[in-house]
Amino acid sequence: MTVDRWAQAVRQQLGVGRLLPLGKAGDGAWITEPAAQAVLRRAAAQVRGARLVSLRLSLADPDGTYEAAVPAPPSAPA
């Protein structure tokens, strides 16, 4: 098993989910999908009268994708 496949298997077993870029191309910051969901759900819970029913994370501008200046962590899916 290659290192990439091993890392992906570990991430899957831990339930880490996708690694998402956080910020701009040169920032080199990443967040796991479950962590992003947790933060957004906590923020929504603070809004009086609001109820978060579902949550979907995707690229803000799919047509404007670019190569990150800082590579993704080795365990990030290709």
Mean confidence (pLDDT) of the chain: 80
Residue 21 contacts residue 29 (beta carbons within 8 Å): yes
Sign of CA dihedral 78, 73, 10, 7: positive
pLDDT at 1 over 70: no
Give the tens place of pLDDT for each residue, 4-14. 788 777 777 87
Read off the pTM. 0.63
Q: Which of 23-32, 35-44, 47-56, 64-73 has the lowest mean pLDDT?
A: 64-73
What is the C-alpha to C-alpha distance for residues 25 and 75, in angstroms, rounded to an integer? 18
Give the tens place of pLDDT for each residue, 62-77. 676 667 677 777 766 5
pLDDT band for position 78 (cuts 50, 70, 90): low
